[in-house]
Amino acid sequence: EDQVTQSPEALRLQEGESSSLNCSYTVSGLRGLFWYRQDPGKGPEFLFTLYSAGEEKEKERLKATLTKKESFLHITAPKPEDSATYLCAPYSGNTPLVFGKGTRLSVIA
Amino acid sequence: DTGVSQDPRHKITKRGQNVTFRCDPISEHNRLYWYRQTLGQGPEFLTYFQNEAQLEKSRLLSDRFSAERPKGSFSTLEIQRTEQGDSAMYLCASSADVRSGELFFGEGSRLTVL
């Protein structure tokens, strides 16, 4: 059975304090790994798709990387508006997507 | 069409009552998904449709839950004889191609069962 573990569960950063979120997975035949952002009371919003180990994607202050067993979401010089829950979902080619529990990020000004 | 819409956004009901949620996906998307999310958890898959065909259902989807997507357009999720454990956010998402990973989610329907 596919499993996804995200750590830490919660992270509190000062504005400008860079850090990384982790997504570990056990999936047979990984075809991709997806990152989403979720604001309180709203549905998740797609951020990135990573297809193979070594791949990187960037968007503003976010950079996602992928290895064979985990993915990292690096946040560089975060701002308060980056506060949200970040969800990852590995994709094995079998729908549906299985999401992790997420990391709840708070960025304090 | 600006996105996936869900209705109602909030529903408060008494235990034992039936509730129905509606989801209107992005019009050109042939796949439609229902997820459930409780506080502190990620979205949990319930069921999905490709056009009007319901292709998969989670074991989370008890006999009290039923979903339809007539004519491959909007979808409804009905919960019969609600229980307090059904209290959650019910999320609908649509996609054109799941391989891209880009599911477009609605804002959800929050259910509170008293």
- The 8-class DSSP code of residue B16 comes to T
Query: How many of the other CB atoms lie within 10 Å of CB of B90?
Result: 24
CB contact under 8 A, B108 and A31: no
Q: Which of B1, B20, B6 is nearest to B93 (CA)?
A: B6
Residue of A48, A99, A104 for testing the chain B interface, max B β-carbons within 10 Å = A99
Name the token pair of B114. Answer: 């008293």
* Strands in B25-102 per DSSP E: 31-37, 44-50, 53-57, 65-68, 75-79, 88-95
Interface of A with B in 25-54 (CB under 8 A): 31-34, 41-46, 49
Q: Which of A33, A74, A36 is nearest to A52 (CA)?
A: A33
pLDDT tens digits for range A37-74: 999 999 999 999 999 999 999 999 999 999 989 999 99
Name the token pair of B48. Answer: 């999905």
Give me the residue from B40, B48, B101 closest to A34, CB to CB: B101
* Contacts by A58-62, CB closer than 8 A, 24 or more apart: none
Name the token pair of B42. Answer: 């990620």
Q: Is the pLDDT of residue B99 over 80?
A: no
pLDDT tens digits for range B36-58: 999 999 999 999 999 999 998 99
C-beta of residue A101 within 8 angstroms of C-beta of residue A55 = no
Please give the pLDDT value at position B101. Answer: 67
End-to-end CA distance of chain A: 41
Give me the residue from A46, A87, A96 closest to B42, CB to CB: A87
Buried b (16+ CB within 10 A) or exposed e, A3-42: ebebeeeebebeeeeebebebbbebeebebbbbbbbeeee
Which stretch, A22-36, A83-97, B15-29, B55-69, has highest mean pLDDT?
B15-29
Please give the pLDDT value at position A77. Answer: 97
